[in-house]
């Protein structure tokens, strides 16, 4: 049979070339790794080093037990099969999760390493499925689903898709697939199955907790927490595709100030550069960026500048970066990975020298002018064709390591800014993986469409992201693609989205509005187009008055939002929270997908269907609730029908804090 070895706080099992290791990794948590034909690797893709506390380990000839606080793993050999099966229990002896085992004569494999001839392994890890459990997390997928039981997911990033392989179970555990390989997972009725297209070893982390907040905070302890949100992150951010010259951008900022509207950040979007990969302003359109930043700062406004990781083949930096090996390399075909705005390739964020090179360019041409926020677009990265097996990074092939890219892209700027002495770093980024949060990543949900369906999907996406350790999250208010400021239906959608944005972690107005305008340089050559107007006064007087109302509400709740950001920084707590996060004992709260808690005090129920002027809201048990728009009070544990004319988003507070909120919303 196999061999059990106790090595300090670890259990190791060996058989037929497989080496399996289980060890404590944080409070109430275990890390499980297995490798075929080799020593276990100390991969640090996302998990942070932790202090090891004494654990209970019992070993006999055919079984071993390791217990760490509220979690226990039992490793049992399976008779003649020369295999072992792992089962996880909480401290009450209740089964949380179990590998499928051999299943009698089926002779199945819980951990199937299928060799790639001449290389590493395709890996499938299979667990039994409890049909009564509910599952949440996995990052940002464009679907209107909260309980993801019986769903399957591609483990890969795309524009508007951020794959973060952490799942929280209603049974009282959290599970992290600590593997950045391209793959898939299925939470099926008959089994749960994780698959990696190419990997060197199996690596996952599991924790047990009595409540969702305990599980999420344990996960944050081992993957990292966001910095403290800077003050300018708490207010309103103005953006559009795109302010294409210095005077246009400044005039918009001046108009916000003339109207006495609260604004903290204004954004200079993409293609303000001569060529993609130049990492600098185009002097024809931005003749004095240092003066531009200075004037904005005098108005109390921070400038955020877009940076793309693509390097145009005509960029002034391309030859040097190509020569030094700082670019992602296609395995086959020409050295091009994106076609938008020119032929380009991505810089290799997995190469520390490439990260240093890009930061030094951005420091010289942006940061030294006083720009302290970057918009890290295209962070998946967005290959023109998602052939995930056709790219290779410094750390290995994309199929084996690719999902780490957005984390290391954020790290590029975070470490550069930190080295300059900046505190409370935040950068907007279009994708994330496990651990991105500790590099100041504010994730937004990508190039979504201007529709009520997409709006509903964003609510689910933001709640799942919060459970996955990404408390800084936002959307393009109004959606990105489409949206005509002259269209009355779009104006109403924008109002409803803007109200939701008021009670999101970051409130940011953005979009590619109609009509599009073609642009040209002085020499007559084409420049990238710009979209239509997207300022709060661009949608008619009635809409403007409502948007202004909610901008001022955002300002009034700034002290509360600041406290939520402190909780996120210190404990990893989501800012937007699923209803069950705050009320885990109320079964109805585990089913809700279109309302949420903004912190522990405010219940938010967005209007997410066209022409809706009332909606049902569930008020959880254990509290008395006040409708902050009309002052009516309700006992918890019931659905109530509330009015929601165009200028109203239903917001409720728990009665014990009622006096603090009346008159603010």
Q: Which CATH number do you get for residue 440?
A: 3.20.20.80
Same domain, 203 and 306: no
Please tell me the predicted confidence (pLDDT) of residue 2: 59
What is the per-residue pLDDT for 401?
97
List the alpha helices (DSSP H) in 289-404.
Answer: 289-298, 318-323, 352-365, 398-401
Residue 226 pairs in a beta bridge with: none
Which pairing describes strands 56-59 and 29-36: parallel, antiparallel, or unpaired? unpaired
DSSP one-letter string for 53-106? PP-EEEE-SSEEEEEETTEEEEEEE-GGG--EEEEEEETTS-EEEEB---TGGG
- In order of 25, 55, 75, 516, the CA distances from 65 in angstroms are 16, 10, 6, 64
Q: Is the pLDDT of residue 81 over 80?
A: no
Instruction: Specify the residue for token string 């998946």.
Output: 380
Q: Tally the domains of the chain.
A: 3
Return left, alpha or beta for 92; rule: phi > 0 is left, psi -120 to 50 is alpha, else beta. Answer: alpha
Query: What is the pLDDT at residue 655?
Result: 77
d(CA 511, CA 242): 9
89: CB partners within 8 A, 6+ apart: 71, 72, 73, 74, 95, 96
- 423 and 474 in one domain? yes
pLDDT, residue 51, reads 85
CATH of the domain at 583: 2.60.40.1180
pLDDT tens-place string over residues 282-338: 999 999 999 999 999 999 999 999 999 999 999 999 999 999 999 999 999 888 999
User: Cα 358 vs. chain centroid, distance in angstroms?
Assistant: 23
Question: Does residue 264 contact residue 235 with C-beta atoms inside 8 Å?
Answer: yes
In whole angstroms, give the CA distance from residue 248 to residue 261: 18
Radius of gyration of the chain (CA): 26
pLDDT bucket at 15, cuts 50 / 70 / 90: very high
Q: Are residues 285 and 206 part of one domain?
A: no
Q: What is the span of the domain harbouring residue 619?
A: 578-661
How many Å apart are CA 531 and CA 510, to the nearest integer? 11
The verdict on 255 and 323 lying in the same domain is: yes
Answer yes or no: are the C-beta atoms of 106 and 125 closer than 8 Å. Answer: no
The pLDDT, as a whole number, for residue 61 is: 84
pLDDT-based confidence at residue 402 (cuts at 50, 70, 90): very high
> Both 434 and 319 in a single domain?
yes
β 265-268/236-238 pair status: parallel
Which of 540, 571, 602 is the C-terminal boundary of a domain? 571
Query: With 60 as the cut, is the pLDDT of residue 154 above it?
Result: yes
- Last residue within a domain, chosen from 549, 571, 593: 571
Residues 252 and 380 in one domain: yes
218 shares its domain with 302: no
Residue 67 sits in a domain whose CATH number is: 2.60.40.1760
- On whether the CB atoms of residues 33 and 202 are closer than 8 A, the answer is yes
pLDDT at 104: 81
166-to-126, 135, 247, 386, 591 alpha-carbon distances in Å: 16, 10, 45, 23, 19
- 3-state class of 223 per DSSP? helix
Which pLDDT band, with edges at 50, 70 and 90, does 660 fall under?
Answer: confident
Predicted local distance difference test score (pLDDT) of residue 503: 98
Cα(446)–Cα(432) distance, integer angstroms? 11
- Structure-token pair, residue 646: 């165009």
- Does one domain contain both 352 and 444? yes
State the pairing for strand pair 135-140/651-654: unpaired
Across 414-437, average pLDDT = 98
Tell me the pairing of strands 344-346 and 302-307: unpaired
8 Å CB contact between 509 and 536: yes
Domain shared by 421 and 448, yes or no: yes
First to last CA, the chain: 67
* Residue 229 clears pLDDT 90, i.e. is over it: yes
What mean pLDDT comes out for the span 258-280? 98
Domain boundary at 571, 601, 626, which?
571
Helix (H, G, I), strand (E, B) or coil at 657: helix
Sign for the CA dihedral angle at 508, 432, 430, 194 comes to negative
Are residues 191 and 133 both part of a single domain?
yes
Q: Which two tokens stand for residue 530?
A: 């710009």
* Residue 165 pLDDT: 98
Phi and psi torsions of 302, nearest 5°? -90, 145
Q: What confidence tens digit (pLDDT) does each residue in 605-658 have?
A: 999 999 999 999 999 999 999 999 999 999 999 999 999 999 999 999 997 777
Average pLDDT of the chain to the nearest whole number: 96
pLDDT per position as a tens digit, 33-79: 999 999 999 999 999 999 878 899 999 888 999 999 999 999 999 76
What percentage of the chain has pLDDT greater than the value 70? Answer: 99
Same domain, 563 and 657: no
- pLDDT value of position 56: 94
Position 95 scores a pLDDT of 98
pLDDT digits (tens, 9 = 90+) for 426-453: 999 999 999 999 999 999 999 999 999 9
Q: Does 341 have pLDDT greater than 60?
A: yes
Active site residues: 377, 380, 447
Whether residue 408 is found in the same domain as residue 557: yes
Per-residue pLDDT at 1 exceeds 60:
no
The tens digit of pLDDT for each residue in 513-559 reads 999 999 999 999 999 999 999 999 999 999 999 999 999 999 999 99
One DSSP character per residue, 224-267 reads ----PPPGGGSSEEE--TT--SHHHHHHHHHHHHHTT----EEE
Q: For residues 645 and 626, what is the distance between their CA atoms, to the nearest angstrom?
A: 18
Residue 103: its pLDDT value, please?
A: 83
């Amino acid at each position: 049979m196999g061999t059990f070895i106790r090595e300090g706080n670890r259990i190791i099992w060996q058989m037929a070339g497989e080496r399996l290791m289980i060890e404590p990794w944080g409070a109430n948590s275990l890390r499980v790794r297995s490798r075929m034909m080799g020593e276990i690797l100390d991969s640090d893709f996302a998990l942070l080093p932790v202090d090891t506390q004494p654990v209970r380990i019992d070993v006999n000839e055919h079984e071993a037990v390791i217990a760490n606080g509220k979690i226990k793993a039992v490793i049992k050999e399976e008779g003649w099969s020369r295999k072992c099966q792992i089962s996880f229990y909480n401290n009450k002896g209740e089964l949380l999760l179990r590998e499928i085992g051999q299943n009698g004569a089926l002779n199945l494999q819980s951990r199937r390493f299928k060799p790639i001839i001449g290389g590493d392994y395709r890996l499938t890890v299979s667990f039994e499925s409890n049909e009564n459990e509910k599952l949440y997390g996995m990052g940002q997928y464009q679907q209107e689903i909260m309980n993801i039981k019986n769903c399957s997911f591609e483990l890969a990033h795309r524009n508007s898709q951020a794959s973060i392989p952490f799942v929280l179970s209603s049974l009282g555990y959290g599970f992290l697939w600590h593997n950045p390989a391209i793959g898939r997972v299925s939470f099926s009725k008959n089994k749960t199955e994780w698959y990696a297209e190419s990997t060197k070893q199996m690596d996952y982390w599991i924790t047990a907790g009595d409540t969702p907040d305990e599980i999420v905070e344990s996960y944050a302890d081992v993957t990292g927490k966001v910095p403290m949100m800077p003050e300018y992150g708490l207010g309103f951010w103005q953006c559009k595709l795109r302010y294409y010259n210095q005077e246009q951008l400044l005039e918009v900022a001046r108009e916000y100030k003339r109207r006495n509207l609260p604004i903290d950040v204004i954004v200079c979007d993409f293609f303000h550069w001569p060529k993609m990969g130049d990492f600098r302003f185009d002097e024809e359109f931005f003749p004095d960026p240092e003066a531009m930043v200075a004037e904005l700062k005098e108005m109390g406004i921070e400038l955020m500048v877009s940076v793309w990781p693509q390097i145009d083949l005509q960029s002034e930096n391309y030859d040097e970066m190509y020569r030094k090996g700082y670019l992602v390399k296609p395995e086959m075909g020409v050295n091009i990975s994106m076609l938008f705005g020119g032929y380009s390739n991505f810089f290799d964020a997995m190469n520390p020298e490439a990260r240093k090179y890009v930061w030094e360019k951005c420091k010289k041409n942006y940061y030294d002018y006083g720009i302290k926020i970057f918009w890290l677009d295209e962070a998946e990265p967005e290959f023109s064709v998602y052939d995930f097996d056709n790219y290779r990074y410094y750390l290995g092939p994309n199929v084996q390591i690719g999902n780490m890219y957005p984390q290391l892209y954020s790290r590029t700027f975070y470490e550069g800014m930190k080295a300059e002495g900046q505190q409370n770093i935040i950068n907007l980024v279009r994708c994330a993986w496990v651990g991105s949060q500790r590099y100041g990543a504010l994730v937004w949900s990508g190039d979504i469409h201007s529709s009520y369906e997409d709006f509903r999907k964003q609510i689910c996406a933001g709640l799942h992201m919060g459970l996955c350790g990404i408390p800084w999250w936002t959307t393009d208010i109004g959606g990105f693609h489409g949206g005509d400021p002259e269209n009355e239906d779009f104006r109403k959608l924008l109002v409803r989205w803007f109200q939701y944005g008021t009670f999101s972690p970051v409130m940011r107005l953005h979009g590619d509005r109609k009509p599009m305008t073609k642009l040209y340089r002085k020499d007559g050559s084409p420049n990238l187009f710009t979209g239509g107007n997207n300022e709060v006064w661009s949608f008619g007087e009635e809409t403007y008055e409502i948007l202004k109302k909610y901008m001022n509400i955002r300002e009034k709740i700034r002290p509360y939002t600041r406290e939520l950001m402190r909780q996120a920084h210190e404990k990893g707590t989501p800012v937007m929270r699923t209803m069950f996060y705050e009320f885990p004992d109320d079964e109805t709260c585990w089913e809700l997908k279109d309302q949420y808690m903004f912190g522990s005090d405010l219940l938010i129920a967005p209007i997410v269907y066209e022409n809706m002027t009332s909606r049902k809201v569930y008020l959880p048990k254990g509290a008395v609730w006040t409708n902050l728009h009309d002052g009516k009070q309700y006992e918890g544990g019931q659905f109530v029908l509330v009015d929601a004319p165009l200028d109203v988003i239903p917001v409720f507070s728990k009665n014990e804090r009622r006096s603090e909120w009346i008159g603010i919303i």
